[in-house]
Amino acid sequence: MKKALSVVVTAAMMTTLMAGCGDSNGDAQSAPAADGAAAGTESAAASDAGAASDAGAADGTTFKIGGIGPTTGDAAIYGTAVMNAAQIAVDEINAAGGINGYQVEFKFEDDQSDAEKSVNAYNSLKDWGMQMLMGTVTTTPCVAVADMTAADGMFQLTPSASSTDVIVNDNVFQACFTDPNQGTASAQYIAENGLATKVAVIYDSSSVYSSGIEATFVEEAANQGIEIVAEEAFTADSKTDFSTQLQKAQSAGAELVFLPIYYTEASIILTQADGMGYEPTFFGVDGMDGILGVENFNTELAEGVMLLTPFAADADDEATQAFVSKYQELYGDVPNQFAADAYDAIYIIKAAAEQAGVTPDMSAADLGAALSGAMTSISVDGLTGEGMTWQATGEVSKAPKAVVIKDGAYAAM
Amino acid sequence: MNFLSYLINGISLGSVYAIIALGYTMVYGIAKMLNFAHGDVIMIGCYVTFLAMSGQGIHPLAAVIISIVVCTLLGIAVEKIAYKPLRRATPLAVLITAIGVSYFLQNAALLLFGADTKSFSSVVTLPALKLADGALTISGTTIVTIAACIVIMVALMLFIKKTKAGQAMLAVSEDKDAAQLMGVNVNATISLTFAIGSGLAAIAGVLFCSAYPTLTPYTGSMPGIKAFTAAVFGGIGSIPGALIGGILLGIIEILGRAYISSQLSDAIVFAVLIVVLLVKPTGILGKQIHEKV
């Protein structure tokens, strides 16, 4: 009897574990796709590099664009926004006749912002026949996937992974600012608008993204005459208690706290600062975008928080308005900067593909070479900037905009 | 004044560690096993409180009580299903089972509640205390956390000294077989220990999430590991040891972060632990105390 019970319980445990795994792979993977992936793995084992191009060339009538990003987990808001907005762009392009006359297929895989899961997602997209990658959304997984795309010669455009480590390979381009750019621009903005002279920085030393921005911010702050009174770090293992860092910032007399971190930790910092009665100006970068969407977060605490981002949903130009209303209609949410980056990214791929005059029957590696060559000669007007251009390094040049949180919404400044 | 403020933060964080460490140390004292699923019981407790408060609009205090009941039942269930059949098995088998239960709870939470971060609103509505013209601010959560820790410790000590069930726990911790011969129901006593430990985990979880307001299925794992360290630090099996270990760990962590390096605070904590264990392998109160519960 006891034995029977323990067998049942063990079985239940296994089911839950499996179900957990299944869930983390995202809902994009339907049963037939999973079968296809399993079959594809065998051929991938036989000819590793050839698998993607074989599968792509097999139909040759549509462009297959893959996307990777977190749709569950800590950074889920980013991945979901990217997935939704990219789908809008793809649908628009298909309705308008596609790229070079060919229709576009788009498939998005979840990576939970984890490097290992991201590489798995990349492999399963390759088995699906992906020819270009729009991803990944966050920096750490992107660095891992960029090595894979370089080996395969696959064209990769990340909407939002902003570290310079992402673009070391020739086939990878960014639609967003690089981290050095964000740090420098933030310091310049703070100085030019006289927001503060004494500034504290709280950053995540275990994240490439955060420490990258922090380093350039501190460097540029010296040039701008901003005094950094406290430079406090935390790590992925101790990201719940910020009372000490805030205390040090407060006692050093910081009027502004610069937070080059993601919104999850930022929401704790705002709550804890409020608890201790410390009310400086908080200034964030694009990772702060999404803080208003944290379930049960008291958005009053975010009142007056400023962030530097290339996109403001309430901007009054026609393209932004059309995109925002379409996004709201389909997903019931105001799109954030990641959504705008992803929407632009799909159009950037389109512009590059048209410039290079490519067709879907080319192999992924040939497409990659052609698109990478075309990237430096295109100029794209998008939601996140007018006349965006690219250097061969993969870096974009566009101007940042500052946004302030007012009455529980992002408002342009 | 800054130092005082850091110290109070450290004691507050340490109080949470101490309450969690109680769960580890009591179970170890009685069943001679390390219940690594303890941290995840904390997380379940937080989710129950969160859902009761924000989903159903239940009063915070009532939500905490519901959470204690759920965690207590969960603790008993885990013990009955996963650990009781292994009572005669090797310690290693029990340890691995505990790790399995931990993963089971994490993945079950992932499935039930989703992976998205939830912002936990504090159950404490007490206003912050401002001392010395506002130079020293102590948040309401901090005061409640420290007070709760003291109350729990005193209550637990009284329970063990004054009640029959408490005496039975003492007896089982000293010699299981002899206790059974004296008419103590060993199985019931072990279940009671798990029930108390898990109920305390619910309280610790609510206090932890009130102070550090985010909730994910992995919320319990890091405080769980730190509290286990605190239990070893103070002398595993000893209740006053858990208190001392927890509070010291909290203070070292915060002061290390404030005065040495905010990046290295965890490294400092564990370095201190290594030094203590080198000098006194049984932990701070490991030997002096004979009553192990």
Q: For each of the domains in chain A, give its residue range(s) and CATH number, in order of start.
A: 53-176+327-398 (3.40.50.2300), 180-309 (3.40.50.2300)
What pLDDT, in 10s, does the model give residues B28-40? 888 888 888 999 9
At residue A12, the pLDDT reads 53
pLDDT band with cut points at 50, 70 and 90 for residue B176 = confident
Task: Evaluate the CA torsion angle A285, A287, A293, A296 in order and state its sign.
Answer: negative
What pLDDT, in 10s, does the model give residues A57-104? 445 789 999 999 998 877 788 899 999 999 999 999 999 999 999 999
pLDDT band with cut points at 50, 70 and 90 for residue B75 = very high
Task: Kindly list the residues from chain A whose CB atom is less than 8 angstroms away from the CB atom of residue B54.
Answer: 296
Summarize the confidence of residues B267-279 as an average pLDDT: 87
Summarize the confidence of residues B278-286 as an average pLDDT: 84
CB distance from A235 to chain B under 8 Å?
Answer: yes
For residue A12, what is the nearest residue in chain B, using CA coordinates?
Answer: B104
Task: Give CA angle at B248 (B244, B252), nearest 5°.
Answer: 175
Task: Kindly list the residues from chain B whose CB atom is less than 8 angstroms away from the CB atom of residue A76.
Answer: 115-116
Instruction: List phi, psi (to 5°) of B158.
Output: -65, -45
At residue A169, the pLDDT reads 87
Strand partners, A69: A110
At residue A5, the pLDDT reads 53
What pLDDT, in 10s, does the model give residues B189-234? 999 999 999 999 999 999 988 888 888 888 888 888 889 999 998 9
Query: Which residue carries 């010699």 as its tokens?
Result: B175
At residue A144, the pLDDT reads 92
Query: Which residue carries 């392998």 as its tokens?
Result: B281
Q: Is the pLDDT of residue B289 over 50?
A: no
For residue B167, the distance in angstroms to the closest alpha carbon of chain A comes to 30
Tell me if A17 and B9 make a contact (CB, 8 A cut-off): no
Task: Kindly list the residues from chain A whose CB atom is less than 8 angstroms away from the CB atom of residue B258.
Answer: 244, 247-248
Nearest neighbour of A268 by CB, restricted to B13, B212, B222: B212
Q: Are A135 and A117 in contact (CB under 8 A)?
A: no
The answer for A 266-295 residues in CB contact with B (under 8 A) is: 267-268, 271-272, 275-277, 294-295
At residue A50, the pLDDT reads 39
**Whose CA is closest to A309, among A185, A217, A402, A409?**
A402
For residue A118, the distance in angstroms to the closest alpha carbon of chain B comes to 17
**Whose CA is closest to A40, among A23, A20, A56, A27?**
A56
Higher pLDDT, A33 or B184: B184
- Which parts of chain A sit beneath pLDDT 70? 1-59, 413
Q: Which of A211, A214, A242, A296 to mutate to test the interface with B (most CBs of B within 10 A)?
A: A296
Q: How many CB atoms lie within 10 A of CB B126?
A: 13
How many inter-chain contacts (A to B, CB under 8 Å) are there?
A: 119
For residue B110, the distance in angstroms to the closest alpha carbon of chain A comes to 7
| pTM over 0.95, yes/no | no
For residue A247, the distance in angstroms to the closest alpha carbon of chain B comes to 8
Residues 6+ apart with CB under 8 A from B73: none
For residue A112, what is the nearest residue in chain B, using CA coordinates?
Answer: B115
Task: Kindly list the residues from chain A whose CB atom is less than 8 angstroms away from the CB atom of residue B104.
Answer: 13, 16-17
How far is residue A180's CA from residue B46's CA, in Å, rounded to a whole number? 39
How far is residue B152's CA from residue B45's CA, in Å, rounded to a whole number? 17
At residue A8, the pLDDT reads 55
Q: Is the pLDDT of residue B134 over 70?
A: no
CB distance from A252 to chain B under 8 Å?
Answer: no
Could you tell me whether strands A172-174 and A132-135 are parallel, antiparallel, or unpaired per DSSP bridges?
unpaired
For residue B134, what is the nearest residue in chain A, using CA coordinates?
Answer: A277
CB distance from A78 to chain B under 8 Å?
Answer: no
Q: Are B223 and B274 in contact (CB under 8 A)?
A: no
**Domain spans of chain B?**
2-220
At residue A137, the pLDDT reads 93
Task: Kindly list the residues from chain B whose CB atom is less than 8 angstroms away from the CB atom of residue A268.
Answer: 212-214
CB distance from A326 to chain B under 8 Å?
Answer: no
CB distance from A15 to chain B under 8 Å?
Answer: no
How far is residue A299's CA from residue B128's CA, in Å, rounded to a whole number? 20
Query: Which residue carries 């410039």 as its tokens?
Result: A355
Instruction: List phi, psi (to 5°) of A70.
Output: -80, 115
Tell me if B214 and A268 make a contact (CB, 8 A cut-off): yes
At residue A86, the pLDDT reads 95
